[in-house]
Homo-oligomer: A and B are copies of this chain.
Amino acid sequence: MVARKRSRGWLECRQRIRVGRACAGWAAGSKVDGVSSMAGVAGSTTVKPLPSDFIQSPVPADIEIAQAVEVQDVQFIARDVGVRDEELELHGRAKAKVRLELLKRTARDPDGMLVVVGGISPTPLGEGKSTTTVGLSQALGAHLQRKVITCIRQPSQGPTFGIKGGAAGGGYAQVVPMEEFNLHLTGDIHAITAANNLLAAAIDARMFHEATQSDGALFKRLCPEQGTEGKRVFARGMIPRLEKLGIETRNPDDLTEEERSAFVRLDIDPATVRWQRVVDVNDRFLRQVTVGQAPTEKGHEKRTGFDITVASEIMAILALATDLADLRRRLGCMVIGTSRLRNAEPITADDLGIGGALTVLMKDALMPTLMQTLEGTPVFVHAGPFANIAHGNSSVIADKMALKLVGRDGFVVTEAGFGADIGLEKFCNIKCRQGGLKPSCAVLVATVRALKMHGGGPPVSAGTPLPLVYKEPNVELVRLGFANLQRHIENTRNFGMPVVVAVNRFHTDSQDELDLVVQLCKQAGAADAVIASHFSHGGKGAADLARAVVAACEQNIEKPFTLTYPDGMSLEEKIRCVATKIYRAKDVHFEELARESLARYEAMGFGHLPVCLAKTQYSFTADPNEKGAPVDFTLPIRDVRLSAGAGFVYPLCGSLPTIPGLPTKPAYYDIDIDLESGRVIGLS
């Protein structure tokens, strides 16, 4: 009953907003801060602070807030930020893809300032990194009148129906419409599912055809006689393999017997195929499966598994590609296994002749999707790679576009997934390295709750009530737990960035606890530390944070950005660098499998790649239970895998789940559609 009453309240509130927007009275009223207006924002018709009478306490459910604002036509958001109409591909009224032509048009324009949001080693409940990313943007745009674009990851649909719920921020700091953000969006993840699984089908089908046909039969089918003259020709997709084999003729009939055999027989070693199928569903029963058990597959069955789609290498590629040609190159050179003979040569998607088709499936996904926050600031949603077996950051293309659009004095706020030892480290050493980006400032999100956990508080877990210590003042636990945050601050400063700590305030936090965190952060070398309440108050609640970020960026201009290791170092040394400099391990233990893999990748010519350590985010060590700032530990490296298309190797520190499961009561039980209004309900 309470919920229903609230709904009516929202409706009225919504009508008020409509009126407010229609009479355009907000722009003047929005200048709540003394910061001077900038060109393009002063005249903004879309960026507007939430009216104070809109904000309620206690904070209603995310979807109620999201549905209570009137979402503006994304076309206006786009125009406001300088995207031309012809560069826009609308997807309904609230989402649009932005064409890559924009990058060409703005190539000579100056870049804005890049602010990366990382965090403390979190509790399993999350410390509000996405929410802070959005809240900070709302503050910069709607309260400080700065040009700003938010760049965030597209969430997997799996957890939306499983345990975690959506990922559009929360409270009064959200991307809207949140249901469109969390479901389908503009189909990028679906495109990855399609491309990933086409490649998987191609691998198994090719191995099957090679196992059941002679060289001659394979050749006759790969290069059939065509046209009235019955001439054999190579398909376009066969050229890369011919080039790799050093075969110069483009006439199939000219191949020697040896060349023909090398051309038709990829000779993939089944034991080396690590390419898995994917679904964007929390389907635990697909973790390990046996395929090929129908009679038509003649006994060629095979043990394999499924990952959740965002764990696909194609997702990592989407996030790192810089243009269409780079996407094509990366997709073609993905290594799916090695050959049995011929010196275990790496077999790529281009060897299968499928690199072009994969690019065709992915070409639309390469365009970032433009949306908006609750306060009308623009948001690019683009890519969402896993933060363990991949690098956990949104796309290079979206960041680059955003930097051009906001211009010299504008801000791009981009989020790095997981704790800063993972997401922010990979942001620097992988994303910035490959994408040629340079951050101006880092925001580290911390909570009193996480600090208490690192100080020795009892375990925190989703689905069980929070222990009392997290709801009552306990300054000592906060002080003890600060060691974790301190290490993240040091690490981040070592990249050459000023650090602003955002203390994401909960209503259970005491002022003493909050003051202590601010004081300790400043002592530890943070440029500033600010208490923020955007969840409860929207951009206004992060206005101080935004001011601190602006100040830090302006002080940092021209300071050098320093990566943790150079390209030329060996893969093993690179892993040691991250382990000792970032995690502060005493030593690294490489298991036999890992050593072999490293040697193989170096021999194959992949030694120049950066490393992407797959480690838990809950600890600096590989053990999620080791809280605080552990020292004197050895980091185990079980194995090392290759993502040749994404352009990194990923050492595995322990085993990491790559597809979650559904709990006894999944989130889908609450999700439904209101048949009268057509609105989604129960999404969280």
The stretch among A406-414, A631-639, A666-674 that forms the contact with chain B is A666-674
- Say whether A294 contacts B283, CB under 8 Å: no
Residues on B with beta carbons closer than 8 Å to the beta carbon of A213: 664
Residues on B with beta carbons closer than 8 Å to the beta carbon of A290: 289-290, 293
Residues on B with beta carbons closer than 8 Å to the beta carbon of A221: 663-665
Q: How far is the CA of A288 from the CA of B302 in the complex (A)?
A: 11
- Say whether A675 contacts B202, CB under 8 Å: no
For A353, give the chain B residue with the smallest CB separation: B669
Residues on B with beta carbons closer than 8 Å to the beta carbon of A198: 161, 281, 668
Residues on B with beta carbons closer than 8 Å to the beta carbon of A296: 284, 287, 661
- Say whether B285 contacts A292, CB under 8 Å: yes
Q: A183 touches which one: B224, B300, B360 (CB < 8 A)?
A: B360
Q: Is A237 an interface residue (CB 8 A)?
A: yes
- Say whether B283 contacts A204, CB under 8 Å: yes
Residues of chain A from 160 to 191 with CB closer than 8 A to chain B in the complex = 161, 179, 183-184, 187, 190-191
Q: A288 touches which one: B287, B294, B300, B357 (CB < 8 A)?
A: B294
Name which of A236, A291, A363, A463 has the most chain B CB atoms within 10 A of its CB. A291
- Say whether B669 contacts A235, CB under 8 Å: yes
Given A354-B668, A668-B353, A672-B357, check contact A285 B291 (CB 8 Å): yes
**Whole-angstrom distance from the CB of A302 to the nearest CB of chain B?**
7
Q: Is A682 an interface residue (CB 8 A)?
A: yes
- Say whether B671 contacts A357, CB under 8 Å: yes
The stretch among A85-93, A368-376, A396-404, A590-598 that forms the contact with chain B is A85-93
Q: How far is the CA of A364 from the CA of B177 in the complex (A)?
A: 14
Q: Is A246 an interface residue (CB 8 A)?
A: no
Q: Is A131 an interface residue (CB 8 A)?
A: no
- Say whether A661 contacts B205, CB under 8 Å: yes
For A367, give the chain B residue with the smallest CB separation: B92
**Whole-angstrom distance from the CB of A522 to the nearest CB of chain B?**
36
Q: How far is the CA of A13 from the CA of B364 in the complex (A)?
A: 27
Q: Is A678 an interface residue (CB 8 A)?
A: yes
Q: Is A157 an interface residue (CB 8 A)?
A: yes
Q: A289 touches which one: B191, B194, B289, B683 (CB < 8 A)?
A: B289
Residues on B with beta carbons closer than 8 Å to the beta carbon of A237: 668-672
For A264, give the chain B residue with the smallest CB separation: B664
- Say whether A209 contacts B664, CB under 8 Å: yes
Q: How far is the CA of A288 from the CA of B92 in the complex (A)?
A: 39
Residues on B with beta carbons closer than 8 Å to the beta carbon of A294: 284, 287-288, 305
Contact digits for A621-653, partner B, Cβ 8 Å, 1 yes 0 no? 000000000000000000000000000000000
Residues on B with beta carbons closer than 8 Å to the beta carbon of A161: 198, 357
Q: Is A460 an interface residue (CB 8 A)?
A: no
Q: Is A426 an interface residue (CB 8 A)?
A: no
Q: How far is the CA of A296 from the CA of B97 in the complex (A)?
A: 40
- Say whether A673 contacts B283, CB under 8 Å: no
- Say whether A184 contacts B183, CB under 8 Å: no
- Say whether B201 contacts A282, CB under 8 Å: yes
**Whole-angstrom distance from the CB of A72 to the nearest CB of chain B?**
15
Contact digits for A273-286, partner B, Cβ 8 Å, 1 yes 0 no? 00001011111111
Residues on B with beta carbons closer than 8 Å to the beta carbon of A194: 157, 184, 190, 280-281
Residues on B with beta carbons closer than 8 Å to the beta carbon of A312: none
Q: Is A356 an interface residue (CB 8 A)?
A: yes
**Whole-angstrom distance from the CB of A381 to the nearest CB of chain B?**
15
Q: How far is the CA of A662 from the CA of B661 in the complex (A)?
A: 31
Q: Is A297 an interface residue (CB 8 A)?
A: yes
Residues on B with beta carbons closer than 8 Å to the beta carbon of A286: 201, 277, 291
Name which of A209, A222, A357 has the most chain B CB atoms within 10 A of its CB. A357
Q: A324 touches which one: B235, B363, B666, B678 (CB < 8 A)?
A: B678
Q: Is A338 an interface residue (CB 8 A)?
A: no
Q: How far is the CA of A89 from the CA of B74 in the complex (A)?
A: 12
Q: Is A193 an interface residue (CB 8 A)?
A: yes
- Say whether A202 contacts B673, CB under 8 Å: no
- Say whether B236 contacts A675, CB under 8 Å: no
Q: A283 touches which one: B197, B359, B665, B683 (CB < 8 A)?
A: B197
Residues on B with beta carbons closer than 8 Å to the beta carbon of A437: none
Q: Is A27 an interface residue (CB 8 A)?
A: no
Q: Is A361 an interface residue (CB 8 A)?
A: yes
Q: Is A244 an interface residue (CB 8 A)?
A: no
Residues on B with beta carbons closer than 8 Å to the beta carbon of A184: 187, 190-191, 194, 361, 364
Q: A291 touches which one: B218, B289, B673 (CB < 8 A)?
A: B289
Residues on B with beta carbons closer than 8 Å to the beta carbon of A190: 184, 187, 190, 193-194
Residues of chain A from 280 to 335 with CB closer than 8 A to chain B in the complex = 280-294, 296-297, 300, 302-303, 305, 324-325, 328
Q: How far is the CA of A355 from the CA of B161 in the complex (A)?
A: 12
- Say whether A201 contacts B289, CB under 8 Å: no
Q: Is A680 an interface residue (CB 8 A)?
A: yes
Name which of A179, A328, A671 has the most chain B CB atoms within 10 A of its CB. A671
Residues on B with beta carbons closer than 8 Å to the beta carbon of A93: 89
Q: A197 touches which one: B91, B279, B675 (CB < 8 A)?
A: B279
Given A187-B184, A236-B682, A360-B680, check contact A302 B285 (CB 8 Å): yes
- Say whether A201 contacts B673, CB under 8 Å: no
Name which of A191, A277, A284 has the most chain B CB atoms within 10 A of its CB. A284
Given A218-B664, A287-B296, A290-B293, check contact A238 B669 (CB 8 Å): yes
Q: How far is the CA of A279 from the CA of B309 in the complex (A)?
A: 13
Residues on B with beta carbons closer than 8 Å to the beta carbon of A359: 672-673
Q: How far is the CA of A93 from the CA of B238 in the complex (A)?
A: 33
Residues on B with beta carbons closer than 8 Å to the beta carbon of A235: 665, 669-670
Q: How far is the CA of A672 from the CA of B671 in the complex (A)?
A: 40
Q: A90 touches which one: B92, B282, B305, B671 (CB < 8 A)?
A: B92
Q: Is A200 an interface residue (CB 8 A)?
A: yes
Q: List 13 A-B contacts (CB under 8 A).
A: A201-B662, A202-B662, A202-B666, A205-B285, A209-B664, A235-B669, A236-B670, A277-B283, A277-B286, A284-B294, A324-B673, A354-B669, A363-B673
Would you list the 5 A-B pairs with minimal beta carbon distance, nearest first?
A356-B672, A190-B190, A357-B668, A201-B283, A287-B294
* Given A289-B291, A324-B678, A355-B672, 10 further pairs, Cβ under 8 A: A161-B198, A194-B280, A201-B285, A202-B662, A208-B284, A221-B664, A290-B290, A293-B303, A353-B668, A356-B671
